[in-house]
Structure 1
Amino acid sequence: MKSTPSYAAAHGASLADPSAFWVEQARQLAWFQPPPEPVLSQEEGTGFTRWFRGGQLNTAYLCLDYHVAHGRADQLALIYDSPVTATVRQYTYRALLDLTARFAGGLRNLGVHKGDRVLIYMPNMPEAVVAMLACARLGAVHSVVFGGFAPQELAMRIDDAQPRAIICASGGLEFNKVIPYKPLVDTAIAQATHQPAHVVVLQREDVVQAELQPHRDVDFREVLQAAPVPAVPVEATDPLYILYTSGTTGKPKGVVRDTGGHAVALKYSMGAVYGLQPGETMFSASDIGWAVGHSYIVYGPLLQGCTSVLFEGKPVRTPDAGTFWRLLAEYKVQVMFTAPTAIRAIKKEDPEGQLASQYDLSHLRYLFLAGERCDPATYEWAGHVLGVPVVDHWWQTESGWPMLATSVGLSDVPPPCAGSAGQPVPGYHVQILDEGGQPVPANTTGLVAVKLPLPPGCLPTLWQDDARFQRSYLDTFPGYYLSGDGGYQDAHGYFFIMGRVDDVINVAGHRLSTGQMEELLAAHPAVAECVVLGIACPLRGQRPVGLVVLKDGQTISEAQVEQELVGLIREKIGAVASFRQAAVVKRLPKTRSGKILRKTMRQLADGEDFTVPSTIDDPLILAEIRAVLQRRQVGHAFESLAGNLAP
């Protein structure tokens, strides 16, 4: 049996000779044409890094055909569990290959070929996975947009990607409400300059029926009737997909994922980072519209020959806060991946974790958390309830796979540490820099950057916008990728990501981390989740205000919890923080991926103009927050200089 490399040896080798390290990992894949060495090169004209130039492969082939040909044809590839529609479906590798090959044939009949773009606008369902894999099979570039996005946002993505076809579902379910998707698609196409040739519509009879337009619209099931087609060899440097992430200019940034680097990195991460072997089961509680869904619902598990659980629902009220634990028990999941906000939602409704005791969780080895920083209180609660190591780790849409983690598939890896995202994953040279671009001492907060070259799997550029890629990520510190997050590294080598750089506030000249304050508030026994906002203050420049959601069943008064939280910040950070207000709210506004909309709430409190983010889970929450701010006289319209002079 092959010995497991130590973390220190693997990380050291990946930095000492990146090309040699990744050649070895690339050999784990079945290439149509192996890449010539050295596998790391520079893009002519831009100087950007490219991996595996000259190699040819196909991601759908690696995810499906390879496993069918090597003994996994009858193993489950995908388990679809949808409590919102009371549906469970299971697909073997053989069945998923058949569906994918036939749907790819149908797309080809509609004129979709290698290099064409296809936009996918669907909820978490097997047909969405089939659509993604079918595009990959043809060498077409898919761009998944979270189902339910507003037409204006969808139109922007249509004009940017210029898809030959759009694949959508007739509708989805959010908060037990039916969201018809097809009218949103029709409106977006009417607003867009680019006009796709076809819209392929999956009719969900149990949700909502869509009206099809003659000549343009095609039924999904009709497309599936085509003859199967083989996988098309593509260049390693050809794009596999475009995934849009929000940009500061209002125009979304199209993160490009290249085919070769993506396959090599994800295959490596499944074993080294998550410790999963072929045949085991992973449950990633995310959406296919996000990077996590792309990497660890669809591509990562299938590249590794694992079984992936695809969940359509919420962590609570589908039907209760034990729905995740049911999935873990029912499908004998070894590794679960979700966002801290999901755990906090469960903790709020089941503070003692009693629902977990109703299920056999003996197969679970690890719970991985990412998407936003996990406060130690949530970290400790999850570990206690599940009885397994909790691994907080850090990565971004741009990276496509983890940058910091406890790489549990390697030997001698430092154990997880509450509050920390762990150590750099092999391939990443993560550093904390000051504003001049120089490394800072241990335990000093700075800007989180990654020394170039970035490893395989990271974005090589933005879709048709090299200049923006250079400006956004590379110009600030030459030789480094700038993550946009702030944090520090302790004396033991653990990294702590404290949030976006703009979540550091300046109180009378003192730079304070709202993430540190949130960590303290979250430790209060009555608090389920919280946010600290740095709002404008005429005396101090900014001052922090807390918004907290209480656990269900709490009887503590708002005045009492505020007094205790103010005292906690004063004790742990000091009067310099000027923390004097903590208001209780019913819920916090978040994106559909679970990130709290801190900037939007700060703009609301400061009276600034802002656009409601297209990714918001429920826009009505902002009205609730505004009402609380008015009631508590927090922010722009409710403060006076005299009030800020209070001790």
Structure 2
Amino acid sequence: MTTDAPQPAATLSALLQEDRRYPPSEAFVAQANWNDPAIYERARRDPEGFWAEMAERIDWARPWDKVLEWDAPWAKWFVGGQLNACYNCVDRHTKTWRRNKAAIVWEGEPGDERVLTYQDLYREVNRCAAALKRLGIGKGDRVAIYLGMIPELVISVLACARLGAPHTVVFGGFSPESLRDRIQDCEAKVVITADGGWRRGNIVPLKENTDKAVAECPTVQSVLVVNRTSDPKRVPMHTGRDVWWHRLLAECAEQVVEPEMVDSEHPLYILYTSGTTGKP
């Protein structure tokens, strides 16, 4: 006896029918940014008006024509509007008193520290975006990011957003096989990784894992490598494919890449469900 597999639309419809509730604790409510019941009531009474008001807090290159197009279960938000996520996260703050305030405060293993102001972050993101452009990345191209928790991860994400290039962040603890699957899923043209990454006192062989994964990923044209744990002279680099982060970005010093303004529904990133076997 066989049964027909559920259709995607039917599955989505079923998922929309959810009655379970998980009330937050009083302690959580007390420290929430929005703990005024009137805010919730405003959103409930006029959802489109509420979200239009919230959207006005960020910068738009072109204002939207319509807040929401709703054809259950599909939704399109801020139809006709154009903006850039990197501009909103970085650029606009460099034009205010925040430019010399810390944007990233980082402490890693084995005890190194780094602080980037918004102005510092603006400079580094532009250099990374210029480097990615040299590697052929533009609007709509996909980039896989396989790094540890280092500032270059944030810089890479923002640089991709600046170019309108969707990115997928792959957990640095994943195997070469899981990395391969994620690269193949998004057909990434560039992979950003490091020679290695620190994790609980041990070095994770990120570059070695990347080499194994990319061997089965024909869409990958370049691998951009952050020097994190090793002597660069001892790291195997594939001529014509692998490029050192520090060298390429040094060639792009002081370059400014204008942010690519994209439609509000343009994909920013590719996100997976939990685990190693999930799909985007």
Work out which of the residue numbers 160, 171, 183 in structure 2 matches 1:135. Answer: 160
**Superposition pairs of residues 212-227 of structure 1, within 5 angstroms:** 212-224=237-249, 225-226=251-252, 227=255
* Identity percentage of aligned residues: 37
Q: Supply the AA of the counterpart residue of 1:172.
A: G
Q: Is the 8 A contact 1:173 1:207 kept in 2?
A: no
Per the TM alignment, residue 5 of structure 1 is displaced from its structure 2 partner at its CA by 7.8
Match of 2:259 in 1: 231
**1:64 equivalent in alignment to 2:93:** no
**1:200 equivalent in alignment to 2:224:** yes
CA–CA distance in 2 between the matches of 1:223 and 1:133?
Answer: 17
**1:150 equivalent in alignment to 2:150:** no
Per the TM alignment, residue 48 of structure 1 is displaced from its structure 2 partner at its CA by 0.4
* CA shift digits 1:12-65 (9 cap, x unpaired): 12122211110000111111111123x01136xx85012112111111111111
* CA shift digits 1:438-493 (9 cap, x unpaired): xxxxxxxxxxxxxxxxxxxxxxxxxxxxxxxxxxxxxxxxxxxxxxxxxxxxxxxx
Segments of structure 2 that go 5 or more residues without pairing to the other structure are: 1-32
SS of the residue 1:143 aligns to: strand
If each structure's helix is expressed as a fraction of its own residues, which one has the higher value?
2
Match of 1:364 in 2: none
**Superposition pairs of residues 295-444 of structure 1, within 5 angstroms:** none
* CA shift digits 1:318-366 (9 cap, x unpaired): xxxxxxxxxxxxxxxxxxxxxxxxxxxxxxxxxxxxxxxxxxxxxxxxx
Q: Supply the AA of the counterpart residue of 1:21.
A: F
Q: Is the 8 A contact 1:115 1:140 kept in 2?
A: yes
Work out which of the residue numbers 109, 117, 122 in structure 1 matches 2:142. Answer: 117
**Superposition pairs of residues 52-131 of structure 1, within 5 angstroms:** 52-82=78-108, 84-131=109-156
Q: Is the 8 A contact 1:198 1:216 kept in 2?
A: yes
Per the TM alignment, residue 99 of structure 1 is displaced from its structure 2 partner at its CA by 0.6
Q: Is the 8 A contact 2:203 2:229 kept in 1?
A: no
Per the TM alignment, residue 109 of structure 1 is displaced from its structure 2 partner at its CA by 1.1
CA–CA distance in 2 between the matches of 1:6 and 1:144?
Answer: 32
Q: Supply the AA of the counterpart residue of 1:109.
A: R
**1:210 equivalent in alignment to 2:235:** yes
- Structure 1 residues 75, 252: closer, same or farther in 2, change over 3 A? same
CA–CA distance in 1 between the matches of 2:185 and 2:156?
Answer: 20
Count of residue pairs the alignment pairs up:
244
Q: Is the 8 A contact 2:196 2:230 kept in 1?
A: no
Q: Is the 8 A contact 1:42 1:50 kept in 2?
A: yes
Work out which of the residue numbers 163, 172, 177 in structure 1 matches 2:188. Answer: 163
CA–CA distance in 1 between the matches of 2:261 and 2:112?
Answer: 36
Q: Is the 8 A contact 1:165 1:199 kept in 2?
A: yes
- Structure 1 residues 253, 18: closer, same or farther in 2, change over 3 A? same
Q: Supply the AA of the counterpart residue of 1:41.
A: E
Per the TM alignment, residue 93 of structure 1 is displaced from its structure 2 partner at its CA by 0.5
Work out which of the residue numbers 49, 52, 59 in structure 2 matches 1:30. Answer: 59
Q: Is the 8 A contact 2:110 2:201 kept in 1?
A: no
- Structure 1 residues 172, 5: closer, same or farther in 2, change over 3 A? closer
CA–CA distance in 1 between the matches of 2:185 and 2:211?
Answer: 17
Q: Is the 8 A contact 1:103 1:228 kept in 2?
A: no
Q: Is the 8 A contact 1:107 1:223 kept in 2?
A: no
Q: Supply the AA of the counterpart residue of 2:267.
A: P
Per the TM alignment, residue 252 of structure 1 is displaced from its structure 2 partner at its CA by 2.1
The runs of 4+ residues in structure 1 deviating greater than 6 Å are none
SS of the residue 1:98 aligns to: helix
SS of the residue 1:252 aligns to: coil
Q: Supply the AA of the counterpart residue of 1:17.
A: D
Q: Supply the AA of the counterpart residue of 1:197.
A: Q
CA–CA distance in 2 between the matches of 1:217 and 1:131?
Answer: 16
* CA RMSD, Structure 1 to Structure 2 (Å): 2.0
CA–CA distance in 1 between the matches of 2:153 and 2:235?
Answer: 17
Instruction: Flag the structure with larger Rg.
Output: 1
CA–CA distance in 2 between the matches of 1:31 and 1:24?
Answer: 13
Q: Is the 8 A contact 1:85 1:206 kept in 2?
A: no
TM-score (norm 2): 0.82
**1:50 equivalent in alignment to 2:76:** yes
CA–CA distance in 1 between the matches of 2:183 and 2:124?
Answer: 26
Per the TM alignment, residue 124 of structure 1 is displaced from its structure 2 partner at its CA by 0.7
Per the TM alignment, residue 223 of structure 1 is displaced from its structure 2 partner at its CA by 2.6
* CA shift digits 1:115-143 (9 cap, x unpaired): 11100000011111111110010010010
Q: Supply the AA of the counterpart residue of 2:239.
A: P
